[in-house]
Every structure is written in C-alpha cells, then in structure tokens.
Structure 1
Amino acid sequence: MRQLGVLDKGFLIAEKRETPMHVGGVSLYTLPDGADEQAFLHDLAANLRNADTLLPPFGDRLKTGLLGLTGATYWEPDPSLDLDYHVRHSALPKPGRYRELFTLVSRLHGTLLDRQRPLWEIHLIEGLGNRQFAVYTKTHHAAVDGARSVHVSRCMLSTDPGFVREESPLSLQAWNAYKAGLKSAPATPQPRYSDTNLRRVSDAIKFSFDSGGSIVHTVSGLARALTGRDEHLYLPHLSVPRTSINTSVDGARRFVAQSWPFARIKAVAVAYDGTFNDAILAMCSGALRKYLQLHAELPETSLKAMVPVSLRREGDVEAGNAVTAISADLATHIPDPGRRFSAIKASMRAGKEYFGAMSPREAELFTLLMQTPSLLMQPLGLISRLPPYNTVISNVPGMSETMYWNGARMDGSYPMSIVTDGISLNITLVTYAENVDFGIIACRRSVPQVQRMIDYMEDALVELEDAAGLSTPAATRTGSKRRKVAPAKPKKSGAAGTNAGTKPKPRTKSKAKTKARPKAKPATTGRKR
C-alpha cells in the first residue's frame, strides 16, 4: 500500500457533489485507412482491458481507517477490479458533431467517480464525421496531476503509425517499458508530507525549510505582498475582485475547446520579450476582459489567476501531485494590450523569483500553508465572498510530435480540469505537435455563454499581434469566421471547434522568429502492422 500525501488527500476532502475533483480530457483521432470504426474501437477497448496488473493507481482503490480521510489514507489493490466498468464504448447519434461530443463529455465530467473502485474511467466514443473518433478520460486529482497524465498518455501512444501494442497501455508491463525508455536519469524521491508532519505548523517549517535564510526570504516576501510594498507579487485572496466567475457552483458543466498554432503564440511572446506562458496569459486576459465588459461587470481591480508550476524533478514520472501555484496579475484593468502584457510579465517574474529561491519541498509546504484559509472557508460557504483567485490558467507541456494509437492518428488533445466554489472557470492547455490545444471548463449556471470565450481569445491574440506589428491581411484573420475542421494532417493544425466544429486558420506571416521545441520520443513495445 502507498500512503497519500497531504496535497493528494486535499482533493478528496474538498470534493462534494457540486465540485467533482477529477481531471481528464478529450482526444480526437482519425481512423487508419480501411479500418471499420466499430471493430477498431472494439479492439482498442479489448486492448485496454488486456492487463493482469495495472500501473499505479489504476488498479488501486482508496483505503481509510476509523478516522476516514482525517486519518491516514492509502492506495490498496482492488481485489475485485472490473475493467469492463472502467473502459466504456459509447456512440454519438449520427451525424455526430463537436457540439454533441462536447455536450456528452460535459455531462460525463460533472459526475463523481465511485470511491469504492479505482478512481478513473475511459470512454471510447464513435459517431463523429470525417472518420474521427474521440476518447474521453477522467482520473481523480488525488491520483495524478497534469504532468503525470501526459506520461500516461505517452505510454499509450507511438510516433510510428504502423506500431500496434500487444499489452494494455495501462498495464504495469507497458509502464515499466516506457520508463525504461526515458533518457533522463532516475529522480531522487521527494519527501512526502504526512499528517503527522503537518499537524503542527511550527514543526513542519522546522522540518522542511533548509535554512534560516529560506525562512527570512519567505516571510519577508509574504510581508511585502501583504503590505503592498511589492506591486508585482500577489498571494491568494489578496486584491482579488469579485465577479460572476467567482460564485458558488452546481454540478453541471460546460466544455469548449480550440487549437491555435504554437508558432503564432510563440511569435507574440518573442515580440514582447516574454515567455510562451506570458503570451498565453495575455491572450486569456484579453478574452476575460472582453467577456466581462460585454456582461457589464469588468472590475476596476485586475483579475488574478492561479498558474500552477510543476515541482516535479526531472525523470520523476511516479509522483501523484507535485505542484505549487503562482498568483498572476492578469492586468485586465489595462486597455492597452502591450502594457497589459508587460504587467503580466512582471507579475510572473516576481512569482517565479519568489518561489525560485525555495527548494521544491519548501515551495510545496508554502503552497499548503497558503491554501489553509480556503480550506477553512470552503465548508463555511465563504469562499465565493473572498476567492483566492478569479480563475485558473494551467499550461501543461505535452508532446511535440504527431502521435498514433495502434495506427489511429491523434488530431488533438483537449484537457478538462476542475471548477470549484469561488472559481467557476478553468482554462487548461496542452501543447501537441505544432498546436496549442485549449480546453475551457465552466459551471454551466455561473458562466453563461462560455463558448464565446473562444472567439474572444482569438480577438485577444489578433490584438496582441497588431500592437506588436505582427499584422497579417484581414482576409487571413480568423475572427468569428472559422472554417470547418477537416481531418488533421501531421503538419497542419488540427482543432476542435466550439459549437459547430470550427477552428482558427494559421496565420501566414510573422516577423518574429521562433525556436524549435525539443522533440520527445516515447518508448513503446509491441509489434509492427
């Protein structure tokens, strides 16, 4: 048995019917030439179930003692594992559009996982046009974070369209083969904080902080943020305005997705001398600003976003959750896109410098301590009155090459995350091949017309390009007119549209040069077609 860390267990404690705490995603695939859809998906389902031992924690269920989740909690092997329950085959009514697909996965994402079983599901979904099918997955956040989810996906996929996996990609055998193929050296295990370590904050600080200098740095930064002496460093609950996004939520969800070319967003980052993540935040900031303006509720104080930062050591593919979070200023009160980008960049730099002076375990502990007010306010129903952030914007590094699952080409991978009371909108993105795939999940009641965020993000990107002198002829802009998605090709942008199945066209010109991203080559075992 493996004991859950405090951060892992926190997702279980915070979960209720209105706020499921699982993460997942929708991936689109194109069938191999000549393959029959129903037979091919039946074979994929059979392949997923073909495992004697599953990789942790897919074969494990929760085990608690007399104190429940307030005491020690473990993963233990499920003696009656039923893979037919976890691997499901569904069909959309034909002709299936992205509208129907997103309606289905929105409903699936709003239901709780059964805690008497291993906390995951996979749904193979047929019925889409253009010989496409979809795969929806969800796994409890107590078991995985975004980085580990990508590793699990890589275990399933191959860069070789002729490769066919014999054993289940969820099997321990396939997982061990994948890990063996990674070039990075094994990571030194990070210490996990148990309930005993964290019962007394003073003991935890004494145990976890490496030096008096680290404590001085942490406390002084906290004091600067609390007193406003550092205009760029923000912490949870500080200067967070209330909007309709920051209300209580119910269990209904709405999901929308879209892809943009990686090079296009990277060109904006280079033009403003910022990072790729800065450009993502500026793009989301512009979209949120327009959304709130059109709903006549743009606050004078800037929105703040939780930006997760991985603490995972290089080569570590086993840890469940290893993240901290920067509170980023989205500068939504600034009309000028260039000045808005600069403010976002300064805020992210301040957050990185603050956490960069801590060791990974210090940053993890500090994050846990900063979450204490939220944990106290959540059961009292006060979190929407004093939200820690306005929204969550998470960038998960993905795969840089076109991938295949037993010959089916993956056209896009759109993440689905969590919304909670006080934060009813979540934007998560994954880089894949030459694209950036965005998944937006929202409370259906609290955030009406969330599908328009896709249009506003395109508008915000165009606004940034124009301000930086990266303009292209109006005919090449996507705006509100998008062409219908065709089956994606390896070197073209494949994306899922919002309502009618649409995506933005790649821009044809750019004055800014971009650097090629390193390509990751996952290890695979199996046979060739």
Structure 2
Amino acid sequence: MTQTFHERLSALDAIFLDLENETAAMHVGVVLLFDAKPLTLDSGGLDMERITKYTLAALDTMPRYRQRLAWVPGFAHPVWVEDGRFNINFHLRHTRLPLPGDERMLKRLVGRLFSQRLDRSRPLWEFWIVEGIENDQFALVGKAHHCMVDGVAGVGLIEALLQMTPVVTEKEPSSWTPRPAPTRRQLLRAEVKHRIDGLRKLSYFGPRIRENFLGVARVLQSGMKAGPESPFTAPDISPYRRFDWTSFDLDEVKAVKRSLGGTINDVVVATTTAAIRRFLEARDLDVDSMEGFRAFLPVSTRKTSGGPTGNQVAMLLAELPVSEPDPLERLKKVIAVTTKLKKESNQTAGAELLEDVADLTTKRLILDISREAIKRHAYNVVVTNIPGPPLRLYMLGAELKAMYPLVPIPPTQNLGIALFSYNGELYWGFNGDWEGFPDLHEFVETLEASFEEYKQLAAASAPEASAGPRPDLSG
C-alpha cells in the first residue's frame, strides 16, 4: 500500500493564509533581469522549451513547489499534500512587452502581475518569463505565497535555479509520482495527536517563559500601540498594486556605515526614515511633532541557509525618528532603536516563544495579535532587508543583471519596502497600493536623495576630507 503524505503548516505559515483577503494578497515576489542573448533562438524569441525543462528539473530539489493546500476537518488548519494534477505549464508562464519595452512598461506589468492572488487549489507559485525588454534583456517575475517561504528561504530557491558560472549545467527532470493524500479521518487523527503532544511539551517551556517573559510583554505592548495617521496607512486598501525599484552601490552603503557608524541595516533604516520625513514634509504634514511612526522589521531566526522552507522569522516593531531634522542625529537614534530591539528588550526571543507555543497549540494565539496590530495601525510601513548572494549568477548561461524583491502589504498598509543584496549592489523593491499610494515613484526619488545626503556626510567626515563646518543637509 502506498504511503500517504501530508505536512502540517506551522502556526506562523498558516496565519499568512488567514491574513489574506480580497484586497491584500500575501505572496512574496521578485523580479530577476537577465541578459537575453544566451537564451535567444536563431529564429528570434526565447527558448521557452529549454527554460521549461530546466525549471522542471530544478523542482526536484524543491518539493514544496509540487504541493497544494488541504485542510484538517473541524480544526481548519492547513496542511501540504502533493498535487496529483501538477502541470508545469500552469505555473511557468510566458508573455512579452510591446515596444519599446522600457523599464516603465515593465514596472506597470509587474504591478499587475503582483496584484493577482494565487490559486489556492494549486501549488502556490507562479513564474512569468517576460520577453521584449530593452537592451536585450528578459525578466523572470516570481511569486510564491508567504505561507511557503520567507525572504531567506526564497534566497535558497533562487540559488537552486541559478549557477555561479556561465558554463551551462543541465539536468534531466526526474520522473515524479505524487503520493496520495490522507483521508479526512487520518488528517483529523494526526491533528488531534499534534495538539495533545503539544500540550505535553508545554510543560518544558517553564524556564524559557521565565527567561523571555519581558520580551513577550514588549512584543504584546508594541503590537497594541496605535501609530500616527499618515499617507502610509489607510482604513482599507485596493486590490491593485504599483511596483517600483532602485539600487545602490553596496560599497557606498558600507562607506556610509564605516564613516558614520551603525550597520548596513541601520543605514537602510536611517535612509528610509529620512525619505519618509521628506515625503511627509512635501505634503505639508507636521513631521516635527510626529511621534510613534513605526516600521515593521521582520528578523530572520533561520539558523542556516539550508533547511526547510516556510517562515522562520520574528516580527519586530521599530519606532523611526521621523521628527528628527538632523540626519546624523537621526542615524544615531536609529542605531539606538535597533540595538535596543536586538539586545536589550529581547523581543526576538519573545516573538519566537509566542510562535512556538502557537505552533504546539493553536495559531489563534498569534493570529489575533497580528489582526489587532493591523487594525490599530501598530506600524506604518514594512521594511525587510534580505542578504543575498555576493557573486555574479547565471541561468542557462544568461547573466543575472538585477533582482528586485517584493514584500506583501497587509490590509491597512499602503507601502512595503524590501531589499536584496546581490553582486555588490543593494536592490530595493517598493510595493505600493495603486489607489492609496499613487506617488510611489516620488517616494523612490526622495529615498535616492536621502541616501545621497548620507553619502555627502560620510565623505565630509572621512579622514582625508578637508576641515571645515559640516554642510547643512537637514531634511
């Protein structure tokens, strides 16, 4: 008799399904730009047959991408089962930009693709191959539901598709036979056993609860504190998205860090804070008295780059000093906030503890907290920074030129910001609500100007810089 297969979603994975609604799609995404020439046929157009075969072979190392959702009767908890009707052509799709195929047209297309929710009756991912991009390029636009992967897990999936050399290594796809799903009774029995075992395991959590009690208390406290009203939040959002991007030289980011202090992530947060301040000032809002503007900063708790897919993150809220007009003082305040979050308040361990207890008992423990935080506008913007591969990568000999990530926005947020480092560049992706954040590109330009400000300050404070008063760059 063939062995059945199912795998229970963790509580954290499962709540991304519960948070999704008609206006807020909960998939992560990425736009990969490649040199098209190595994959262009003599007759013109990309070799889609070869790309399809290559992607199918890569799925042999990514079993989750052949699995769909099923639900435990009575408990409504999701599990993964293998999809007996899996068809690569449903998930790997092909389109082309009309002339001139410029960056603006690509961004509009990507915004439309990211607006569309994934079909829950099938494996929760799509790859779109986009031809006709200027400068002999093509794009791979990837979408995967957040219940499948977090940002760091997503890096591993990208690496499975890419190679460190232009020398092509291709494998034949393995034959694949789906294992049968359990019956409803078997799913129910397994879930009951999981919850009984979970209650027994809680008896061992005493020391961990005592050690991380303060961290748990601060997670709950920060999640229930309402943030200020601003263009970054709304009572509700539309189902449509704008997507924009930019990139910074990573060496320039590191130069700012070395000269002015902090970490790369501190420079990212300070630059974002400066851009938010400028953006609000341009709309005649009183930023000098604005307090409690917070960013949602997902922090990876993944111990290694390998391991299972799914989410291994702690959710932290950081108050951004948008009321501080001085850029250097603003950076110092950001460093103080992030240091306190990481070391003093123990919020990461507290968030992990809540997630682990919920996984042993019921997802409602963290689902209700998440919903209440969203309802109260406990944070104003999402900012996630994902470390990526430092070397140049290729797919079937085609060089990967750029990669722009996407983080989903919850039902009351107008903007999500994701960053990905690759081959000496720091790539920014901006996911904005089409109706609630129509001036997304203006925000991107403001962010670029804010980083330029920090570059000037770093250059002025370098040892070889000439002595003299610091330029007035407040904003």
Given the two structures, how large is their TM-score scaled by the length of structure 1? 0.75
Residue of structure 1 equivalent to 2:255: 267
2:353 pairs, out of 362, 369, 375, with 362
Residue of structure 2 equivalent to 1:43: 50
Residue of structure 1 equivalent to 2:416: 426
Bigger Cα displacement from structure 2, 46-55 vs 298-307: 46-55
Deviation, structure 1 residue 115: 0.8
Rounded Cα–Cα distance in structure 1 between residues aligned with 2:447 and 2:292 = 18
- Which runs of 5 or more residues in structure 2 are unaligned? 1-5, 177-190, 466-475
1:142 matched to 2:147? The reply is yes
- Which runs of 5 or more residues in structure 1 are unaligned? 174-193, 227-234, 473-508, 512-529
- Pair 1:212–1:30, CA change in 2 (3 A): closer
Rounded Cα–Cα distance in structure 2 between residues aligned with 1:203 and 1:334 = 50
Paired residue type of 2:371: L
Contact preservation (8 Å) 2:315, 2:351:
no
1:282 matched to 2:270? The reply is yes
Rounded Cα–Cα distance in structure 2 between residues aligned with 1:270 and 1:363 = 36
Contact preservation (8 Å) 1:465, 1:471:
no
1:373 matched to 2:369? The reply is yes
Alignment of 1:325-474 (within 5 A): 325-353=315-343, 354-355=345-346, 358=349, 361-362=352-353, 364-365=355-356, 372-376=368-372, 383=375, 386-470=376-460
Rounded Cα–Cα distance in structure 2 between residues aligned with 1:296 and 1:196 = 58
- Pair 1:35–1:448, CA change in 2 (3 A): closer
Rounded Cα–Cα distance in structure 2 between residues aligned with 1:271 and 1:143 = 39
Rounded Cα–Cα distance in structure 2 between residues aligned with 1:256 and 1:357 = 30
Residue of structure 2 equivalent to 1:184: none
Bigger Cα displacement from structure 2, 237-246 vs 422-431: 237-246
Rounded Cα–Cα distance in structure 2 between residues aligned with 1:324 and 1:90 = 37
Rounded Cα–Cα distance in structure 2 between residues aligned with 1:151 and 1:365 = 23
Contact preservation (8 Å) 2:39, 2:398:
no
Residue of structure 2 equivalent to 1:245: 232
Residue identity over aligned pairs, in percent, reads 26
Rounded Cα–Cα distance in structure 2 between residues aligned with 1:310 and 1:16 = 25
Residue of structure 2 equivalent to 1:123: 128
**Partner SS for 2:346:** helix
Residue of structure 2 equivalent to 1:166: 171
Compare the two structures and name the one with the higher helix fraction: 2
Deviation, structure 1 residue 297: 2.7
Residue of structure 2 equivalent to 1:66: 73
- Pair 1:372–1:203, CA change in 2 (3 A): farther
Alignment of 1:175-254 (within 5 A): 208=205, 210-211=207-208, 213-218=210-215, 221=218, 235-238=222-225, 240-247=227-234, 248-254=236-242
Rounded Cα–Cα distance in structure 2 between residues aligned with 1:196 and 1:340 = 51
Paired residue type of 2:12: L
**Partner SS for 2:253:** helix
**Partner SS for 2:223:** coil
**Partner SS for 1:163:** coil
Contact preservation (8 Å) 1:53, 1:59:
no
Contact preservation (8 Å) 1:61, 1:78:
yes
Rounded Cα–Cα distance in structure 1 between residues aligned with 2:140 and 2:130 = 6
Aligned residues: 435
Contact preservation (8 Å) 2:95, 2:129:
yes
**Partner SS for 2:140:** strand
